[in-house]
Amino acid sequence: MSVHTGWAACVVVEGSAKKPVIVANQVIDILDDAHRFCFHMAAEMPRKKAEAFLATTRKQALANAKRTLSPLLAHKPRACAIVAKPGDPGELDEIFASHPRWHAAEGCFYRDVLREACSLPTELVPPATLDVTKVGKLATKPWSRDQKLAALAAWRVLDD
């Protein structure tokens, strides 16, 4: 999976990068446009309201991720790879102190929601460790940089 704010590109693979097989390829929505920038919204709220809003939003995001991942998990993949950086965004006061941290917190939020929603062993694969030029056109649309990253990450995890 290649994670973005509110959505992810998900690719189920078999084989290897040398003998690739694309089993499924789907973009999943985790939160709609009205709620996807949840830390931006929470930063404008009083602290207690922000905490409650983020907790409620996380529950909704997790429910949506589980529902939308279900058809992909029906293909019975062995593991899940999430293209995302490791790390923790920090405490809420630290996050709200800086606009760039809002973005970082959202990245961690969606990464962690997907990690929890996936009922498989999950590994984070930093995007900088993947070379999309190694993957050609292997599937019908959507097949962009995000799908290529997701496929490469999945093959890396399968090869480990």
Report d(CA 39, CA 5) in Å as an integer: 11
Task: Flag whether pLDDT at 17 surpasses 80.
Answer: no
Report d(CA 149, CA 153) in Å as an integer: 6
For the ranges 60-69, 101-110, 137-146, 148-157, the lowest mean pLDDT is seen at 137-146
The mean predicted confidence, pLDDT, of the chain is 93
Task: Flag whether pLDDT at 141 surpasses 90.
Answer: no
Q: What is the pLDDT of residue 160?
A: 67
Task: Flag whether pLDDT at 123 surpasses 80.
Answer: yes
Q: Name all domains of the chain by residue range, CATH numbers in brackets.
A: 6-159 (3.30.420)
Q: What pairs with residue 20 in β-bridges?
A: 15
Report d(CA 116, CA 42) in Å as an integer: 22
DSSP helix/strand/coil, 35 = coil
- Please, is 44 exposed, middle or buried when counting C-beta atoms within 10 Å of its C-beta (0-12, 13-18, 19+)? exposed
- Segment 47-81, tens digit of pLDDT: 999 999 999 999 999 999 999 999 999 999 999 99
Report d(CA 22, CA 20) in Å as an integer: 7
Q: What is the pLDDT of residue 109?
A: 97
pLDDT band at 136 (very low <50, low <70, confident <90, very high): confident
